[in-house]
């Protein structure tokens, strides 16, 4: 074994000394002479048609320098996954005709101090005709629900269909053959990341016409490219500076501060800072998607799960952001790390008039894992089998075909469970200790090889 220099060593954090001395720089630590402050006016209602935005009283407040609204945005669409072909563009950078969630940004006030900007936002008069919102994923699919997306559906359209499909084997036939059918419905509320540092962006216009952008995004190039698309400028006009993010967890991957702050800087020809309040971070920043998951598993007496039928509704909130991708990942993972020869999944990316959800720590997958593992417990109790045994019988093995049509390589779940049992002081019976990731179907009484066959 080669002697390695760093792998296997305990290495102190490069930024550790900065953190413990308070010298680490965060975006809110950036100040420029003459810097202005931006605060956002946001929709008070979940859904509505904008009739009029009256900024006269706000503009009259001494110290207010500019208002930034939809008309100031060169290309008023934010579609982060547009870069990988997801569409159509659905999220305005600043709302103009309608509002689709409570807290949606409508217009920004830029002023000499943050306090003045804040007070000015309360002076903007919004005339919004409230419309019936869709606030629940099941209701969104109901024929009676208002259709809130402009393509005529409350779901993302995947290849002409209103859901993502996974079809592997013959699930209905397998369910009929199963000794037990175990149903479970699992719901997850949206979860907010609560990074200690809120979103923050500082933009300084440079004499050569470029913009220097300090941002605590987790995705510097995504942010720069999307900002360039929104500003309709070549990306070499932008100089994006990232650095230490005071907690992201997926909550700082949307391009949610840079474009408007850039426009404010261009409009005023002065540096501008926009820092979010904790309230905005909780109520307006993206969250993990809420989701409703329905699982139906067909199980044999000997513990083999031979069928899984899933219907899952992901709550994307008002706009795409990363949800069409999250829903797709979710679909790919409904089998879990188990070998199930017949799988059917319908996964819907549903739009509601709620805070848009986006990325968070394994989004799409973690939700599936939660449902799957609780479902495994339900199965174990239903058929009267030990939990460890149930998992180890069904754990995927090398060479098996997964529902997403990929052959398993480098499987290690069996070995991981064995190691976990030892660490937990749980003694596994001999036949479970004898299992390994390369054992064949005959030994475990398990699973399909090659194409998606149904082994009953």
Partner 1 sequence: MDTTTVTFTLNGTTTALAVSPLTTLRTALRENLHLSATKAGCSQGGCGSCTVLVDGEPTLSCLLPLALIEGQEVTTLEGLSTRGGLHPLQEAFYDRFAAQCGYCTPGMIMAAKALLDRNAQPTREEIREALVGNLCRCTGYLPILEAVEDAARRLSQ
Partner 2 sequence: MTVTTLFTPRSADEAVDLMRRHGSDLVVLAGGTIMMPMINDGALFPRQVMSLRRAGLDGLHTANDHVEIGATANLARVAEVNALPPLAEAARTVGGPALRTMATIGGNLFAHPPHGDLGAPLLALDAEVQLAGGRVLALEDFYAERASGSRAGTELVTALRVPRPQGQSVYLKCGRRQGNTTSVIAVAVQVMIGSDGTCSDARIALGAAASHPMRARRAEEQLRGRLPDGEICAAAAEEAMAECEPFTDAIASDWYRRKMIGVYVRRALEATLSIHVGQ
Residues that bind partner 2 (CB under 8 A): 39, 115-116, 118-119, 121-122, 277, 279
Stretch binding partner 1 (CB under 8 A), from 9-17, 84-92, 145-153, 428-436: 9-17
Partners of 317 in the β-ladder: 351
Q: Does 34 bind partner 1 (CB under 8 A)?
A: no
- Scanning 26-34, 66-74, 220-228, 440-448 for contacts with partner 1 by CB under 8 A, the matching segment is 26-34
Which of 77, 186, 222, 249: binder of partner 1 (CB under 8 A)? 249
Nearer to partner 1, 29 or 439 (CB): 29
Tokens at 316, concatenated: 């994307």
Residue 367 interacting with partner 1 (CB under 8 A): no
- Select the residue interacting with partner 1 from 245, 318, 332, 379 (CB under 8 A): 245
Does 193 interact with partner 1 (rule: CB under 8 A)?
yes
| Contact flag: residue 196 with partner 1 (CB under 8 A) | yes
Least Å distance, CB 80 to partner 1, is 23
- Would you say 10 or 236 has its CB closer to partner 1? 10
Q: What is the DSSP string of 138-204?
A: HHHHSTTSPP-STTS-SB--BTTBSSEEEEES-HHHHHHH-SEEEEEEEEE--B----SSPPEEEEE
Binds partner 1 by CB under 8 A, chosen from 24, 118, 153, 212: 24
**244 forms part of the interface with partner 1 (CB under 8 A):** yes
Binding string, residues 173-192; x marks residues near partner 1 by CB under 8 A: --------------------
Q: What is the CA radius of gyration of the chain?
A: 26
Nearest to 372 by CA among 405, 332, 328: 332
Smallest separation, CB 41 to partner 2 (Å): 12
Nearer to partner 2, 39 or 321 (CB): 39
Q: How far is the CB of 453 from partner 1 (least distance, A)?
A: 44
Q: Is 218 in the site for partner 1 (CB under 8 A)?
A: no
| Edge-to-edge strand ranges of the sheet holding 180-188 | 164-168, 343-351, 305-317, 290-299, 180-188
Q: Which is nearer to partner 2, 110 or 417 (CB)?
A: 110
Q: Please, what is the minimum distance in Å from the beta carbon of residue 18 to partner 1?
A: 7
Q: Looking at the DSSP assignment, which residues form a beta bridge with residue 73?
A: none
- What does the alpha-carbon distance between residue 407 and residue 409 come to, in Å, rounded to a whole number? 6
Q: State the minimum distance, in angstroms, from the CB of residue 135 to partner 1.
A: 27
Alpha-carbon torsion angle 75, 94, 245, 81, nearest 10: -50
When asked if residue 31 is in the footprint of partner 1 (CB under 8 A), the reply is yes
- Find out whether the peptide bond into 88 is cis, omega within 30 degrees of 0: yes
By beta-carbon proximity to partner 2, the closer residue of 167 and 279 is: 279
**Going by DSSP bridges, is the β-strand pair 64-68/105-111 parallel, antiparallel, or unpaired?**
antiparallel
Instruction: Give the Å distances, CA to CA, from 312 to 133, 159, 350, 406.
Output: 21, 18, 10, 22
Partner from partner 2, partner 1, none contacting 186, C-beta within 5 to 8 A by type? none
Backbone angles phi, psi at 280, to 5 degrees: -60, -40
Q: Match 């499909």 to its residue by tokens.
A: 165
d(CA 24, CA 104) in angstroms, rounded, equals 32
328 touches, from partner 1, partner 2, none (C-beta below 5 to 8 Å by class):
none
Least CB distance to partner 2 at residue 57 (A): 13
If the CB atoms of residues 110 and 345 are measured against partner 2, the closer one turns out to be: 110
Cβ of residue 350: shortest distance to partner 2, in angstroms?
24
Alpha-carbon distance of 183 to 299, in angstroms, equals 11
What is the spatial distance between Cα 118 and Cα 112, in angstroms, rounded to a whole number?
11
Nearest alpha-carbon partner for 266 in 226, 307, 210, 184: 210
Question: Which partner, partner 1, partner 2, none, binds residue 122 by CB below 5 to 8 Å per kind?
Answer: partner 2
Binding-site ranges for partner 1 (CB under 8 A): 12-13, 15-26, 28-29, 31, 193-198, 244-249, 275, 277-278
């Amino acid at each position: 074994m080669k002697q390695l220099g760093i792998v296997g060593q305990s290495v102190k954090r490069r930024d550790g000394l900065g953190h413990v001395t308070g010298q680490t720089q965060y975006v809110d630590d950036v100040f420029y002479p003459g810097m202005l402050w931006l605060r956002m006016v946001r929709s008070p209602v979940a859904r509505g048609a904008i009739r009029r935005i009256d900024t006269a009283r706000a503009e009259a407040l001494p110290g207010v320098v500019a208002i930034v609204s939809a008309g100031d945005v060169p290309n008023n669409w934010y579609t982060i996954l547009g870069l990988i072909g997801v569409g159509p563009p659905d999220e305005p950078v600043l709302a103009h005709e309608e509002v689709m969630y409570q807290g949606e940004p409508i217009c920004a006030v830029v002023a000499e101090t943050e306090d003045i900007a804040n007070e000015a936002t309360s002076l903007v008069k919004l005339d919004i005709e409230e419309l019936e919102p869709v606030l629940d994923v099941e209701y969104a699919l109901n024929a009676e629900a208002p259709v809130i997306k402009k393509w005529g559906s409350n779901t993302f359209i995947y290849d002409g269909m209103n859901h993502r499909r996974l079809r592997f084997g013959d699930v209905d036939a397998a369910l009929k053959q199963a000794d037990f059918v175990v149903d479970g419905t699992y719901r997850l509320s949206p979860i907010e990341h609560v990074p200690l540092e809120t979103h923050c962006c500082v933009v300084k216009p440079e004499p050569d016409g470029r913009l220097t952008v300090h941002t605590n995004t987790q995705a510097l190039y995504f942010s720069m490219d999307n900002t360039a698309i929104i500003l309709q400028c070549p990306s070499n006009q932008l100089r994006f500076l990232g650095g230490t993010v005071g907690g992201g967890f997926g909550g700082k991957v949307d391009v949610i501060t840079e474009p408007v702050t850039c426009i404010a800087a261009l409009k005023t020809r002065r540096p501008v800072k926009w820092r979010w309040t904790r309230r905005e971070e909780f109520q307006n920043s993206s969250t993990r998607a809420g989701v409703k998951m329905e699982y139906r598993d067909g199980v044999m007496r000997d513990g083999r799960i031979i069928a899984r039928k899933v219907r899952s509704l992901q709550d994307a909130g008002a706009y795409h952001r990363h949800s069409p991708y999250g829903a797709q990942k979710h679909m790919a993972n409904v089998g879990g790390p188990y070998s199930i020869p017949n799988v059917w999944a319908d996964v819907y990316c549903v739009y509601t008039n709620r805070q848009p959800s986006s990325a968070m720590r394994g989004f799409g997958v973690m939700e599936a894992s939660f449902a799957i593992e609780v479902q495994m417990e339900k199965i174990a109790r239903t058929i009267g089998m030990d939990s460890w045994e149930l998992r180890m019988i069904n754990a995927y093995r090398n060479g098996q075909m997964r529902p997403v049509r990929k052959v398993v390589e480098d499987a290690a779940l069996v070995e991981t469970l064995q190691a976990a049992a030892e660490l937990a002081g749980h003694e596994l019976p001999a036949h479970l200790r004898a299992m390994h990731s390369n054992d064949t179907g005959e030994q475990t009484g398990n699973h399909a090889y090659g194409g998606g066959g149904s082994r009953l």
